[in-house]
Structure 1
Amino acid sequence: MSKAINFSRHGGIEVLEVVEVAKPEAGPGEVLVAVRAAAVNPLDSSIREGLMQSIYPVAAYPSGQGVDFAGVVESIGVGVVEFEVGAEVLGFLLPPGAAQAEYVVAPVAQVVAKPANVPWEVAGGLYTAGTAAYASVRAVGPQPGETVVVAGAAGGVGSIAVQLARRTGAKVIGIAGPANHAWLSAHGVTQVAYGNQLVLDRPDVFIDVFGNGYVDLAISLGVPPERINTVIDFAAAAKYGTRADGNRAAGTPQALAELAALVDQGELEVPIAATFPLDQVQDAFALLDQRHTHGKIILRP
């Protein structure tokens, strides 16, 4: 037996339970991974609350939860030649997933090798936030010398997006709370506090990972719709015809491996806001719901 996070109905954090389940087994083309870290993401909350049934339906109850994971390969299924038992890996499951558990079974095509210099917490929290940031920057194509604004610049997605945008040679302005301004400055990002957006000159590109009217702000600043990307305000994206690229646009093992390599080489920092043991999953999501953390929240089975 092993422990896993389950929920048996849509709802808030109160529906999350730590349960004993049968230890899974790897089938053909799969690996069984002993999980060392798994991410807590807003996507998990949206699925659990029933807000994404048309995109990521919960097919049956009880349902597992969690997309991102990292750990050690414990066994391999028939036909797997890419990894051996004992390999350190990171990967992803299709939502709603079941990564918030002691063990996870994943198709080998959704797993990549963990580079030696990538900490477990970072590896376990890289997929969802990292590929959303990757897609956002790619969607709007910043060029050297252009100005990029990132709203929500210190959160899980935003903290990665500002760094990827800086790598294009663009000037990056990050909208974030004052507590995060020192971190942004250290990463070459100009800081603007929430509530002071009107001091912005017209930027060339706008990336919204926070919602709350930032797409409207970008339009009011004169940013062309095709150079605005949001990963959260889909109503505004439809209204104005902006981009809305996220995980579904760049959630590939190739992108994940590229991001992991950047971390390994010291060229990308993924801040970890907090870690929780698996049995404190409700506390982890309560912190996430405050929407003011700097970086990722991680569960450690």
Structure 2
Amino acid sequence: MHAVRLHAFGPAENLVPEEVEDPRPGPGQVRIAVRAAGVHLLDTAVREGIRGPLPELPELPTVPGREVAGVVDAAGGGTPETWLGRRVVAHLGFRPGGYAELAVTEADRLHDIPGNLDFAGAVAMIGTGRTAMGIVQFTDLGPGSVVLVPAAAGGIGTLLVQYARTAGATVIGLAGGPEKAARVAANGADLAVDYTEPGWPQRVRAHLGGRAATVVYDGVGGDVAREAVALLGPGGRHLVFGWSGRGLHDGAPYLVEGVSEQVLGPVMMNRTGGPDPVRTLELRALAEAAAGRLTPAVQRFPLAEAAAAHRALETRATVGKVVLEP
């Protein structure tokens, strides 16, 4: 099969398309003929040799990628053959292998893809969608809410804008550059602002006419977060789920005591509760997409251009969820 492998940690150019042996599913596993594989910012950090939140770095050489969607084409021993031929999506967990034409995973990780979702959209919902569902559970949005979403043109930001609008909130979407801001406006934000323009907070204040923001959903950090937090009123909340503006390894995001709350990792899982909080959030995300309430944005790259996809993601030149297609 064709796959993209990493033989040495380092720059994006180290991602090399190769022919490798087809994987075989073991007991309780299935093999997926991959139609779409997700690319995550964490993938770029691991490629450089930065472990981040993972328990350990993968052994090299490795096939990166932890989110896949496709059609089940083989089942291992003890796996129900009823999975064969079904359109499925799965998060592979800490074991990579997604940047390939074939991927193996445990059958209990599988989800059927709703009929209104294509493979790329399913990959977006299993990764960014589940994160968005985890983030919004920390807020109770309604018509009185005023929500600021930095990086509103990104994969998670796109879904947060849609969710907040459906809840009746006033939504201010921030994005870097006029093209991204236009996409945010088309996605339904009440106001779309290019945060690379000087004085953008004044534009937000003028639009709100004396109202203050009640929530900032922040995956950016840095100066954008600092200026967004300044727009919060008394009792406002700054929910932090990343700091892409500073990179995964450039220190902490912008935080204000008594206002900011980091909601990823164990905090999100504890809030979700239940015996399998990750699967719970995945099911919620797919259900929202199936009902038409959330529609993921996707930017596609051919599998062989994984290095280009990484470079685009690292330089924040992408819109929506980045997906590789064999």
Q: Secondary structure at the match of 1:80?
A: coil
Match of residue 298 from structure 2: 272
Match of residue 211 from structure 1: 221
Contact conserved, 2:125 with 2:289, CA < 8 A, in 1? no
Match of residue 197 from structure 1: 201
Contact conserved, 1:142 with 1:205, CA < 8 A, in 2? no
Task: Please state if 1:236 is matched with 2:244.
Answer: no
Contact conserved, 1:140 with 1:228, CA < 8 A, in 2? no
Contact conserved, 2:31 with 2:103, CA < 8 A, in 1? yes
Deviation at residue 112 of structure 1 after TM alignment? 0.3
Deviation at residue 83 of structure 1 after TM alignment? 4.5
The amino acid of 1:188's aligned partner reads: G
In structure 2, what is the Cα distance between the partners aligned to 1:279 and 1:152?
27
Match of residue 74 from structure 2: 75
Q: Secondary structure at the match of 1:19?
A: strand
Deviation at residue 13 of structure 1 after TM alignment? 0.2
Contact conserved, 1:69 with 1:125, CA < 8 A, in 2? no
Deviation at residue 283 of structure 1 after TM alignment? 1.7
The amino acid of 1:5's aligned partner reads: V
Deviation at residue 276 of structure 1 after TM alignment? 2.2
TM-superposition CA deviations, 1:71-112 (whole Å, max 9, x none)? 001112233349521010011112362111111111122210
In structure 2, what is the Cα distance between the partners aligned to 1:83 and 1:145?
48
In structure 2, what is the Cα distance between the partners aligned to 1:277 and 1:187?
25
Residues 40 and 53 (structure 1), Cα distance of their counterparts in 2 relative to 1, 3 Å cut: closer
Deviation at residue 16 of structure 1 after TM alignment? 0.8
Q: Secondary structure at the match of 2:17?
A: strand
Contact conserved, 1:140 with 1:229, CA < 8 A, in 2? no
Q: Show structure 1 runs of 5+ residues with no match.
A: none
Deviation at residue 162 of structure 1 after TM alignment? 1.0
In structure 2, what is the Cα distance between the partners aligned to 1:191 and 1:134?
22
TM-superposition CA deviations, 1:153-180 (whole Å, max 9, x none)? 0112211111122232221110023223
Contact conserved, 2:70 with 2:88, CA < 8 A, in 1? yes
Q: Secondary structure at the match of 1:34?
A: strand
The amino acid of 1:277's aligned partner reads: P
The amino acid of 1:174's aligned partner reads: G
Deviation at residue 227 of structure 1 after TM alignment? 2.2
The amino acid of 1:150's aligned partner reads: V
In structure 2, what is the Cα distance between the partners aligned to 1:197 and 1:143?
23
Contact conserved, 1:8 with 1:15, CA < 8 A, in 2? yes
- Aligned-residue CA RMSD in angstroms? 2.5
Deviation at residue 188 of structure 1 after TM alignment? 2.8
Residues 25 and 154 (structure 1), Cα distance of their counterparts in 2 relative to 1, 3 Å cut: same
Contact conserved, 1:56 with 1:96, CA < 8 A, in 2? no
Match of residue 283 from structure 1: 308
Residues 113 and 191 (structure 1), Cα distance of their counterparts in 2 relative to 1, 3 Å cut: same
TM-superposition CA deviations, 1:221-269 (whole Å, max 9, x none)? 3457982122223713666463222476367233223322332333222
The amino acid of 1:255's aligned partner reads: L
Please give the residue correspondences for 1:68-217 in structure 2 after superposition, counting only pairs within 5 Å. Answer: 68-81=67-80, 83-95=82-94, 97-176=96-175, 177-189=177-189, 190-194=191-195, 195=197, 196-201=200-205, 202-217=212-227
TM-score between the two structures when normalised by the length of structure 1: 0.88
Contact conserved, 2:38 with 2:124, CA < 8 A, in 1? yes
The amino acid of 1:213's aligned partner reads: D
In structure 2, what is the Cα distance between the partners aligned to 1:117 and 1:50?
38
Higher alpha-carbon deviation: 136-145 or 219-228: 219-228
Q: Secondary structure at the match of 2:19?
A: strand
Identical columns (%): 31
Contact conserved, 2:221 with 2:253, CA < 8 A, in 1? no
1:254 to 273, 280, 288: 280
